[in-house]
Structure 1
Amino acid sequence: MPKKARKSQLPAEAERAAVRELVKAARDRGEDLTGPDGLLKVLTKTVLETALDEEMTDHLGYGKHAVDGRGSGNSRNGTRTKTVLTDNVGPVPVEVPRDRAGTFEPVVVRKRQRRLGDVDTIVLSLYAKGLTTGEISAHFAEVYGASLSKDRVSVITDRVIEEMTDWCNRPLLPVYAAIFVDAIYVKVRDGQVGNRPFYAAIGVDLAGHRDVLGLWAGTAGHGESAKYWMTVLAELKNRGVTDTFFIICDGLKGLPDSANTVFPLATVQQCIVHLMRGTFRYASKKYWGQIAHDMKPIYTAASADAAWAAFEEFEEKWATPYPAISSLWRSAWERFTPFLDYDVEIRRVLCSTNGIESLNARYRRAVTARGHFPTEQAALKTLYLVTRSLDPKGTGQARWATRWKPALNAFAVTFADRMPVAENL
C-alpha cells in the first residue's frame, strides 16, 4: 500500500481505536451504551460541547486561556446550561459558552433552538396522520425516551399556520381542464361538538397534473349560500385562474349559479361518482350489483335523449321499491347531462374521480383519528398538513397524468379557442 494512502487512514484508525476503548471501559464498569445515561448520550454531549467551544474560539480568534485574548475587548464569560432534544438519545444537557460582548452566535446549537435532527418533521407527520398533541407527546416518551410536552407540540404545529396562509394565497395557473369541489365533514367543538363542512378544490391542469388549489371552512347547517361560493370562486380568480372547462361538484347548493357568474364559460357538472354512491345509499346492499348494471346505460349513453330513455327503463324497475332513487336522479338531471355532449375520453375522466377519492380518504383517516377538533383553525391545519404530505415521490401524479393524456388531446380540440398559448402554461 502506498505510504500516502496508509497515512490518510491513520486518523480514522485512531478514532475507531479510541471508540473501542470507550466502549470497553463502559462495559467493564457495567454502564449502558444507549440508555438515558449511557455512553452514546455522554458522547453526544461531549461532541456538542466541543463543537461549541471550537465555534467560540473561531468567534474570538484565540483559544481558551490564550494570552492573545488579553485586551482584545471580548472574552469568554462562562457558560449557560441548555437542554436540547435529539432524535437518538433524547434530551441532552449541554454547556453553551458565552462571551462578554454577547455577540457569539453558535451554529451547531443555535440560540433558542431546543431540538436537533428531524423532531419537527416527525411531529408534523404524526399530526397529519391524526394524532393529538397528547398522543404525540406520549409517542416521543415511549419510542424516543424523550420529553416533549403537549404545549411544545402545539408550538411546532402552529408554525405551519403562516406557511398555510402563504399556500392559500399562492398564484395559480390561468386555465384548468377541470376543478373538482368536494366536501368533507369534520367534528368541531364550537360551544358543542357538531359536524362542519370543509371544502377542497382540486384542479387538473392542461398537463394532467392535479393540485389542491385551496381549503375552506364552511358553516354548519343545510349548505352554503351563493354569496359564500362567489367569495371562494372570486378568490381563485384573484389568484390567477381566468378559465376552467369544467367545475365538478356534488349538489353543493349555490355553487352552480355562482360558478357561471365568476367563470361564465365553465360547464358545471354533477359528480357522477357521488350520484352513483347516493343511489346505493337508498338501496339494500344485496341489490347493488344489479343497480350498478342498470345504471351504466344512463351515464354511458350517446346523448342526453338516449340517457333519458335509459333512465326511464331504470326508473320503471327501481322506483317502486326505492322511490328516493328516482327523486335523486330527477333532481340532479339538469347538472348530470352536460358532460354527455363531449367526447368519450372527456366523459371518462369526468366520471372517474379515483384521485380525488384517494385524497378524501387521506383527509378522512386523519379526521377520524382525531375524533373532533377544538377550533376551525385546528381542523384546517390538519387538512393542510395532510395535503402537504401527499405523494412526495410523485408516482401518483404520474399515473394520474397518464390516464388524462387521451382526454387532454380531446380538450385541446374541443376547447381550442380557450387554450392558452404555450408560454403561459
Structure 2
Amino acid sequence: MYGAEVSKQTITTITDRGMEGMAEWRSRPLDRVYTVVFAGRHQREDPRRPGRQPIYLARAVTVEGTRDILGIWAGDGGEGAKHWLSVFTELRNRGLEDVLILVCDGLKGLPDAVETVWPRTVVQTCIVHLIRNSIRYVARQDCDKGTKDLKPVYTAPERGCRDRTVPGVLREVGHQYPAMIKLWSDAWAEMVPFLSFDVEIRKVICSTNAIESVNARIRVAVRTHGHFPSETAALKCVYMALMPLDPTGKGRRR
C-alpha cells in the first residue's frame, strides 16, 4: 500500500515491545474468590494439518459482577484435563482461593482436576456442548425429535423435576439411541447443578458462551496471521487480540 518493505525481524522487534506487558498481565495477582469461571480452549481443527496446539482460556465473573479474563495458556495438544490441572494450580498460586461455579465443555477428567485444586467448587457442564455431542448419535431424520425429547431435562422448573422427566426420555429414545442416553448419564452429575438456580442465573452458567465470544475474536486474529513459528508468537498474537476487546469497560460491567 505504501510502497515500503518491512522485514519479518522488524515486525518481530516491534511486537516484542508488548511481551513485557503480556508477562506482567499473565502473572498479575487475582481476587481471592470468583463467582463463576468459564474454562475453554480455542483450537482450529484442520485434518489436513495435524499437530495444532490449543490455546486455553479462563474467563471469570467477579464478586462485583464484572467480567475478567484470568489468563491464556498454550497447550501441547495432549490430554486436556492434565493441562487444566496445571492451569488451575497456577491460578491458585496467583491468589485465587475459591471458585463457586466452574463451567466447562465436558472434558473427561476435568471435574477431578477442579476438585484437586478447589474441593468445594461446583462443576457445571455446558448444555450446548452436551446437546451438540448428542446429535452425533442420532440419525439425521431424528435430530429434531431427539433434541425435543431432551429439552424437558435441561428446562425443568426445579431440580427435583428432573427425576420425573428422565424416565420419559429413556422410554422415548433410549431403546433407539442408547449411546445418547449413556452420554447424558455419564455427564449427569455435572449437568444438573444449574437447575438449582433461578432462570436468570441459569442463562449465565448453563453454557460456555462467554468463552465462545472471546474465541471468535481469537479466531479472526489467528486466521489473519496464519502460521506461527513458535508458541510465544501464538500467545503474543492472542494477547494483542484480547487487550482491545473491551476498551471502554462496558463489557466488563454488562
Q: Which residue of 1 aligns with 2:249?
A: 394
d(CA) in 2 for partners of 1:355 and 1:211?
A: 11
Q: Which residue of 1 aligns with 2:67?
A: 210
Q: Secondary structure in 2 aligned to 1:196?
A: coil
d(CA) in 2 for partners of 1:299 and 1:208?
A: 25
Q: CA deviation at 1:165?
A: 0.9
On the 8 A contact 2:35/2:100 being kept in 1, the answer is yes
Q: Which residue of 1 aligns with 2:152?
A: 297
On the 8 A contact 1:186/1:372 being kept in 2, the answer is no
Q: Which residue of 2 aligns with 1:311?
A: 166
Q: Which residue of 2 aligns with 1:96?
A: none
Residue pairs, 1:123-138, within 5 angstroms? none
Paired residue type of 1:393: T
Q: CA deviation at 1:371?
A: 4.3
Residue pairs, 1:273-288, within 5 angstroms? 273-283=128-138, 287-288=142-143
On the 8 A contact 2:103/2:206 being kept in 1, the answer is no
The 3 A distance-change label for structure 1 pair 281 and 380 is farther
Q: Which residue of 2 aligns with 1:163?
A: 21
Residue deviations 1:51-94 (CA, integer Å, cap 9, x gap): xxxxxxxxxxxxxxxxxxxxxxxxxxxxxxxxxxxxxxxxxxxx
1:223 alignment partner, one of 67, 76, 80:
80
Paired residue type of 2:112: D
d(CA) in 2 for partners of 1:320 and 1:369?
A: 47
Deviates more, 1:293-302 or 1:194-203: 293-302
Q: Which runs of 5+ in 2 are unaligned?
A: none
Q: Secondary structure in 2 aligned to 1:296?
A: helix
Residue pairs, 1:13-412, within 5 angstroms? 142=1, 144-186=2-44, 193-225=50-82, 228-283=83-138, 287-319=142-174, 322-398=177-253, 401=254
Paired residue type of 1:296: K
Q: Secondary structure in 1 aligned to 2:54?
A: strand
Residue deviations 1:300-331 (CA, integer Å, cap 9, x gap): 22444532442333343334554432232122
Paired residue type of 1:146: A
On the 8 A contact 1:229/1:254 being kept in 2, the answer is no
TM-score by length of 2: 0.85
The one of the two structures with greater contact order (alpha-carbon pairs below 8 A, sep at least 6) is 2
Residue deviations 1:23-47 (CA, integer Å, cap 9, x gap): xxxxxxxxxxxxxxxxxxxxxxxxx
d(CA) in 1 for partners of 2:118 and 2:149?
A: 35
Paired residue type of 2:7: S
Paired residue type of 1:214: G
Q: CA deviation at 1:239?
A: 1.5
Q: Secondary structure in 2 aligned to 1:152?
A: helix
d(CA) in 1 for partners of 2:223 and 2:167?
A: 40
On the 8 A contact 2:36/2:100 being kept in 1, the answer is yes
Q: CA deviation at 1:238?
A: 1.9
Q: Which runs of 5+ in 1 are unaligned?
A: 1-141, 402-425
Q: Secondary structure in 1 aligned to 2:6?
A: coil
> How many equivalent residue pairs?
252
d(CA) in 2 for partners of 1:234 and 1:222?
A: 16
d(CA) in 1 for partners of 2:131 and 2:174?
A: 15
On the 8 A contact 2:54/2:76 being kept in 1, the answer is yes
On the 8 A contact 1:247/1:267 being kept in 2, the answer is yes
Paired residue type of 2:181: S
